[in-house]
Copies of this chain bind each other. A is one copy, B any other.
Amino acid sequence: MRKLPAKLASQLYGAAELIAERGLDGTKIEDIAEATGIPKATIYYHLDGKNAVLEFLLGDLLDMIAGAVGVAVASEENARTRLEAAVQAQLGVMLEHPSLCRALVGDLGRATRLPELAAALRTAFYEPIEQLLAEGVSDGSLRQVADPGAVALSVFGAITVAGLSAAVEGPSADPSADAARFSSAVSELVLDGLATPGSRDQRRGEPL
């Protein structure tokens, strides 16, 4: 099943839009066959079924994200700057592939139930952030927070939901402009927060 020929792989992308639109359940194998031009029998020859189609498509997306973010994170800058770069990289890839992103949101449940994908999700999205936050504390460019795990999760959420929503809003005319817009908004939030200097001094105590 692994290693399906390049030609088929590229044809398979023709199914992304379909799956994004109707969800995997709403999409019949026959539909996929028609949309991609690959006959059903051939699909089953290479792939283990519907899920494998999704797995292939999303696996690719996740690899692209992990790759781009990996590059962004590997520079010599301080963690704060690299965090900005990572945000930009992740949003850039996401906005370049809106239908894959829509497929991802739409079938998130299935995706997380596919073990290989679940792992890829983690390494593509969450781990780089977590790492960066820790490094930022070491190099002094990011603040020490009380609960690094929870904060990393939130940062991850801020970035990802922004990208996902952007993808869901139908593809834009200029994805890279959008990516820039969104990533500066996200960075602004994540780095500087929303409190005004005036209200910032009131320390939060124990809520509840």
**Contact partners of A159 in chain B: CB under 8 A:** 154, 157
CB distance from A185 to the nearest CB of B (A): 4
The complex is assembled from copies of this chain, and their number is 2
Interface check A93, CB cutoff 8 A: no
Interface check A36, CB cutoff 8 A: no
**Contact: B88 with A185, CB < 8 Å?**
no
**Contact partners of A83 in chain B: CB under 8 A:** 194
Contact digits for A186-207, partner B, Cβ 8 Å, 1 yes 0 no: 1111111111101110001011
Complex CA gap A151/B25 in Å reads: 33
**Contact partners of A181 in chain B: CB under 8 A:** 147, 150
**Contact: A179 with B154, CB < 8 Å?**
no
A contacts with B, residue count (CB < 8 A)? 65
**Contact partners of A109 in chain B: CB under 8 A:** 23, 105-109
* Interface pairs (28), CB distance under 8 Å: A23-B110, A25-B110, A80-B194, A80-B195, A84-B204, A105-B109, A108-B108, A108-B109, A140-B196, A140-B198, A141-B198, A142-B199, A143-B194, A150-B182, A151-B185, A151-B194, A153-B162, A154-B158, A154-B159, A157-B157, A157-B164, A158-B158, A179-B208, A184-B204, A184-B207, A190-B194, A191-B200, A193-B194
**Contact partners of A180 in chain B: CB under 8 A:** 206-208
Residue of A105, A180, A189 most packed against chain B (CB within 10 A): A189
10 closest cross-chain pairs (CB), A and B: A157-B161, A106-B109, A193-B193, A150-B185, A154-B158, A191-B195, A158-B158, A192-B193, A157-B157, A147-B185
**Contact: A189 with B196, CB < 8 Å?**
no
Complex CA gap A145/B196 in Å reads: 11
Contact of A113 among B23, B141, B151, B200 (CB under 8 A): B23
**Contact: B153 with A161, CB < 8 Å?**
yes
Interface check A156, CB cutoff 8 A: yes
